[in-house]
């Protein structure tokens, strides 16, 4: 799925032509949140919403392109746990998904490669900074 093919005005239930309905009575907070998010148009999703659903391996074909788009602009985009938690969640997606979506896997590799360069650059800058004060 390409990002341009996703209608952000629709929710996952609409995009997938399914209806998960309301969460069952006595459901956990996570289950309730998942059911709520399936009815929320994608244009309103936060990084935390993406992180939560991707971690549950739900609707990856729609959510991974959105997450990768955000991570390409800032690999430290985060949900509510810690800096970089969205990227951490993405790299934990099962291998079968990446085999079936090689273009998305390539995008992830590009983000990681760029991040490696940025980390190396900042490591050098910090090293020079610290040396100047020793």
Determine the structural domain holding residue 84 and report its residue range: 3-132
DSSP 40: S
Please compute the mean of the pLDDT values over residues 60-86 and round it to a whole number: 95
**Structural domain tally of the chain?**
1
More confident residue, 39 or 120: 39
Dist. CA 34–CA 4, nearest whole Å: 24
pLDDT at 132 over 90: no
User: Model-level pTM greater than 0.75?
Assistant: yes
pLDDT at 18 over 80: yes
């Amino acid at each position: 799925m390409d990002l341009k093919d996703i209608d952000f005005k629709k929710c996952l239930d609409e995009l997938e032509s399914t209806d998960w309905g309301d969460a069952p009575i006595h459901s956990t907070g996570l289950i309730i949140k998942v059911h709520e998010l399936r009815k929320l148009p994608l244009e309103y999703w936060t990084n935390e919403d993406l992180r939560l659903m991707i971690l549950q391996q739900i609707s990856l074909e729609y959510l991974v392109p959105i997450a990768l788009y955000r991570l390409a602009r800032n690999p430290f985009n985060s949900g509510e746990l810690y800096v970089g938690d969205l990227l951490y969640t993405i790299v934990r997606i099962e291998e079968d998904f990446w085999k079936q979506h090689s273009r998305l896997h390539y995008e992830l590799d590009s983000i990681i490669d760029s991040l490696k360069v940025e980390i190396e650059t900042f490591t050098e800058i910090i090293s020079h900074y610290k040396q100047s004060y020793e």
